[in-house]
């Protein structure tokens, strides 16, 4: 299943030619992002209830915490798909997560939908997502208007990067673990969480980039890997010559990402290159950690890959561009400090970056830099 050299050359040529004739994404000045005065923008709310098909009772499904959102632009609104946890008395990682939906006409003030849109139920996928739930979504749109969610299915045993499809962001069809069929199931039961599908600008919309007949996704936490798919739900990780996972970046001793390099919002083909925003976790051990941040802190950085070679790094943050600084970002469920980005959209001439704070709230930072016209 590994790509041959001539296929890679064809792929890289295709990437280089995938700009639209209307608009291109200019260099994004990530240092220009500023946190909004209204922050957090989403909080837990115990008034929201729904009948859980697993527990067969009414559940206050976002009573505990609301965080780690995906974002897309639809019908002139920003739509957030956020992770919500139900039981505030349960220990960290011992709750049930469900994905909720909220909409906004200004990107700051959101109206939540009353029920979760993706959650554990009595289906073929409950062995993967029950009782822990559906966590940490990243969402992209396809050129024909379908929405694809990469999320974590958590059964209290093994987290698995999983996929779901939707036509309207409300009704979702689960497809199961992303790596279930690859290489005869070799990676089906491997722990995996984060997937950032590569996107490009098509007219006014950012869509999954199909290049040389394949879609591409950066994924992983203890290092970033690359995977490809022909249908957006069966994904094949790239392997090295010894049939092991091939990393495109890894953790770095003494840096903000010394413990984890967890993929953030969908990657983007830009004028600068292929930009992947990722969430770095500082090591829990002083001998490996950056001295600039407390042990275990989550901050946000980026890496730029060569558009002619999705594995070649052109630039990588030595310092994060978004760090915990507000009271609710260093308290709550994860007190070491967290800014954890999963949603990035261009809306009304501004970039909106949505992030989770301390596994407890949703935060927002905005950059006013504009796209450029060709």
Query: What is the mean predicted confidence (pLDDT) over 150-165?
Result: 97
Per-residue pLDDT at 172? 98
Spell out the residues 6+ positions from residue 62 whose beta carbon is closer than 8 angstroms to its own.
44, 45, 46, 48, 84, 85, 86, 98, 100, 112
What average pLDDT does this structure show over 50-72? Answer: 96
Domains of the chain by range and CATH? 5-369 (2.115.10.20)
Does 129 score more than 90 pLDDT? Answer: yes
Q: Which residues of 168-202 are buried (b: 16+ CB within 10 A; e: fewer)?
A: ebeebebbbbbbbbbeeeebbeeebbbbbbbbbbb
User: Each residue of 239-278: pLDDT tens digit?
Assistant: 999 999 999 999 999 999 999 999 999 999 999 999 999 9
For 73, the 3-state DSSP assignment is strand
Q: Which residues pair with 263 in a beta bridge?
A: 278
Given this model, what pLDDT does residue 370 score?
A: 56
232 band by pLDDT with thresholds 50, 70 and 90: very high
Average pLDDT over residues 196-218: 93
- Which pLDDT band, with edges at 50, 70 and 90, does 336 fall under? confident
DSSP state, residue 15 = H
Q: Say if CB 269 and CB 18 are below 8 A apart.
A: yes
Q: Name 51's Cβ contacts closer than 8 Å, sequence gap at least 6.
A: 57, 58, 59
SS3 245: strand
Looking at the predicted structure, is the pLDDT value of residue 168 above 60? yes
The model's confidence at residue 13, banded by pLDDT at 50, 70 and 90, is very low
């Amino acid at each position: 299943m590994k790509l041959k050299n001539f296929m890679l050359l064809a792929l890289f040529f295709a990437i280089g030619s995938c700009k639209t004739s209307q608009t291109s994404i200019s260099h994004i000045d990530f240092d220009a992002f500023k946190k909004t005065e209204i922050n957090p923008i989403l909080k837990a709310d115990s008034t929201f209830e729904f009948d859980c098909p697993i527990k067969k009772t009414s559940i206050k499904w976002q009573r505990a915490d609301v965080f780690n959102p995906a974002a897309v632009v639809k019908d002139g609104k920003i739509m957030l798909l956020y992770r919500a946890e139900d039981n505030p008395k349960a220990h960290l990682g011992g709750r049930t997560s469900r994905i909720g939906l909220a909409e906004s006409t200004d990107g700051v003030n959101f109206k939540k939908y009353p029920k979760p849109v993706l959650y554990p139920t009595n289906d073929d996928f409950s062995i993967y997502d029950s009782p822990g739930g559906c966590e940490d979504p990243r969402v992209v749109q396809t050129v024909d208007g379908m929405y694809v969610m990469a999320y974590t299915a958590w059964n209290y045993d093994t987290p698995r990067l999983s996929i779901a499809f939707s036509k309207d962001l409300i009704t979702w069809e689960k497809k199961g673990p992303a790596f279930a069929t690859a290489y005869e199931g070799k990676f089906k039961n491997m722990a995996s969480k984060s997937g950032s599908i590569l996107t490009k600008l098509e007219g006014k919309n950012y869509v999954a980039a199909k290049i040389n007949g394949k879609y591409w996704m950066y994924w992983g936490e203890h290092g970033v890997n690359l995977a490809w798919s022909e249908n957006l739900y069966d994904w094949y990780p790239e392997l090295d010559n010894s049939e092991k996972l091939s990393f495109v970046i890894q953790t770095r001793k003494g840096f903000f990402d010394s413990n984890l390099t967890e993929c953030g919002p969908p990657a983007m083909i830009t004028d600068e290159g292929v930009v992947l925003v990722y969430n770095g976790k500082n090591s829990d051990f002083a001998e490996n950690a950056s001295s600039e941040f407390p042990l275990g802190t989550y901050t946000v950085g980026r890496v730029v890959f060569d558009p002619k070679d999705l594995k070649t790094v052109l630039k990588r943050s030595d310092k994060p561009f978004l760090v915990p600084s507000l009271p609710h970002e260093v308290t709550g469920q994860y007190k070491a400090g967290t800014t954890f980005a999963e949603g990035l959209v261009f809306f009304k001439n501004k970039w909106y970056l949505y992030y989770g704070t301390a596994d407890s709230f949703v935060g927002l930072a905005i950059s006013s830099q504009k796209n450029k016209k060709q």
